[in-house]
């Protein structure tokens, strides 16, 4: 008997065990969705409407509105083509609505202000605002693979922290699996195997199935958050870009504390620059109004401008922009 046949026969019991376990888990209907609980996001991958021009968005908390412009891919102002201008250094900001600039007009978001400040200082820089409302780092990795990599950034600012830290019934990854999200499964073919999902669930302690409705989880659990930082670093390096971390400041550190500590630890381990003005903002907000009184999760125009000033100074001081 030739060795390939011998190898096949030796592996046959293992293959039968694997396929048997796969079939058993499917027959048992694992993982099961708790019918009494709603998912946090009905659309786990959502991109802002494309090609908007000064569209008025209602700010329900304040009763006012703000103007939003987007490019053909749904990325907010400053508007730049996918192909960067020759001789221009391109910075891309990644994050949720705090990066998008929820509540302020186009020119007042901190990414737009960073571009304006750096250009006024003589730096030939373009800033791409990759922030999408509601996004966590889990969704940000998908957006990078779908769209963002095409903008050819030289520096990527990873600022996912506010949404990642929120407590929900299911983590984003668990929710994507339970929804059989085609985009997620296409990127991770192993996730089509319930045996693989079950194995990871046992190893990592995921709560794909929640029986206690009082239980909550982070949208991105701490271990996954660390892995997502590593994955984004790999993505940026593949396009020849550098990456830095940004701990978006809130009035108080509050619920972002654990993820903020992971971000700092990742910066140390991966030797990444990190800008985290949280302590400074906690001091300043005792004297200045930098957030909307009715929506304290989002910085107002003055808060966005102060963030941008600090970020621009950091980029120049760390020689991250030419």
The reported pLDDT for the residue numbered 266 is: 98
Say which residue, 67 or 44, is predicted with more confidence.
67
**In the chain, domain spans:** 1-30, 55-317
Res. 203 pLDDT band, cuts 50 70 90: confident
pLDDT digits (tens, 9 = 90+) for 109-123: 999 999 999 999 999
Q: What are phi and psi of 57, to 5 degrees?
A: -105, 130
Res. 207 pLDDT band, cuts 50 70 90: low
User: Which conformational region is residue 80 in: left (phi greater than 0), alpha (psi within -120 to 50 degrees), or beta?
Assistant: beta
User: Which conformational region is residue 224 in: left (phi greater than 0), alpha (psi within -120 to 50 degrees), or beta?
Assistant: alpha
Say if residue 36's pLDDT is above 60: no
**CB neighbourhood size of 312 (10 A):** 22
Tokens for 185, please give them. 């499964």
Res. 236 pLDDT band, cuts 50 70 90: very high
C-alpha–C-alpha distance, residues 166 and 207, integer Å: 16
Of the candidates 199, 174, 181, 187, which has an alpha carbon nearest to the alpha carbon of residue 22?
199
Q: Can the peptide bond before residue 41 be classed as cis, meaning omega within 30 degrees of 0? A: no
The reported pLDDT for the residue numbered 206 is: 66
Say if residue 125's pLDDT is above 70: yes
What is the sign of the dihedral through the CA atoms of 297, 112, 138 and 73? positive
Res. 7 pLDDT band, cuts 50 70 90: low
Helix crossing, 222-238 with 257-270: angle to 10°?
A: 40
Helix crossing, 194-204 with 3-28: angle to 10°?
A: 80
- What would you report as the CA-atom Rg of the chain, rounded to the nearest whole angstrom? 22
C-alpha–C-alpha distance, residues 308 and 312, integer Å: 6
pTM for the complete prediction? 0.89
The reported pLDDT for the residue numbered 259 is: 98
How many residues are given for the chain?
322
**CB neighbourhood size of 165 (10 A):** 23
Query: Which CATH code is given to the segment(s) 55-317?
Result: 3.40.50.1110
Say if residue 9's pLDDT is above 70: no
Of the candidates 137, 135, 91, which has an alpha carbon nearest to the alpha carbon of residue 113?
91
C-alpha–C-alpha distance, residues 127 and 85, integer Å: 12
Of the candidates 232, 216, 110, 130, which has an alpha carbon nearest to the alpha carbon of residue 165?
216
């Amino acid at each position: 008997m030739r060795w390939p046949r011998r190898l096949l026969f030796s592996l046959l019991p293992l293959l039968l065990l694997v396929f048997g376990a796969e079939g058993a888990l499917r027959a048992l209907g694992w993982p099961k969705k708790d019918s009494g609980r709603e998912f946090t996001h009905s659309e786990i991958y959502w991109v802002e409407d494309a090609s908007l021009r000064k569209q008025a968005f209602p700010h329900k908390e304040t009763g006012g509105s703000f103007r939003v412009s987007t490019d053909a891919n749904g990325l907010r102002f400053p508007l730049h083509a996918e192909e960067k201008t020759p001789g221009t250094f391109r910075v891309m900001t990644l994050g949720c609505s705090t990066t998008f600039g929820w509540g302020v007009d186009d020119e007042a978001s901190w990414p737009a202000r960073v571009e304006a400040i750096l250009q006024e200082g003589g730096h030939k820089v373009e800033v791409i605002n990759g922030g999408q409302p509601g996004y966590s780092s889990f969704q940000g990795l998908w957006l990078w693979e779908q769209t963002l990599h095409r903008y050819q950034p030289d520096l990527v600012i990873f600022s996912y922290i506010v949404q990642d830290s929120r407590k929900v019934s299911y983590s984003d990854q668990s929710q994507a699996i339970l929804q059989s999200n085609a985009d997620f499964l296409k990127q991770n073919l192993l996730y089509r195997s319930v045996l693989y999902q079950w194995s990871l669930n046992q190893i990592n302690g995921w709560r794909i199935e929640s029986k206690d409705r009082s239980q909550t989880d982070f949208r991105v659990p701490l271990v996954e958050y660390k892995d997502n930082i590593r994955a984004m670093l790999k993505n940026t390096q593949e396009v020849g870009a550098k990456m830095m971390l940004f701990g978006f400041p809130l009035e108080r550190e509050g619920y972002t504390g654990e993820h903020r500590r992971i971000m700092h630890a990742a910066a140390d381990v991966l030797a990444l620059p990190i800008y985290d003005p949280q302590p400074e903002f906690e001091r300043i907000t005792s004297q200045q109004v930098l957030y909307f009184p009715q929506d304290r999760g989002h910085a107002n125009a003055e808060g966005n401008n102060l963030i941008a000033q600090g970020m621009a100074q950091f980029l120049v001081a760390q020689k991250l922009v030419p």
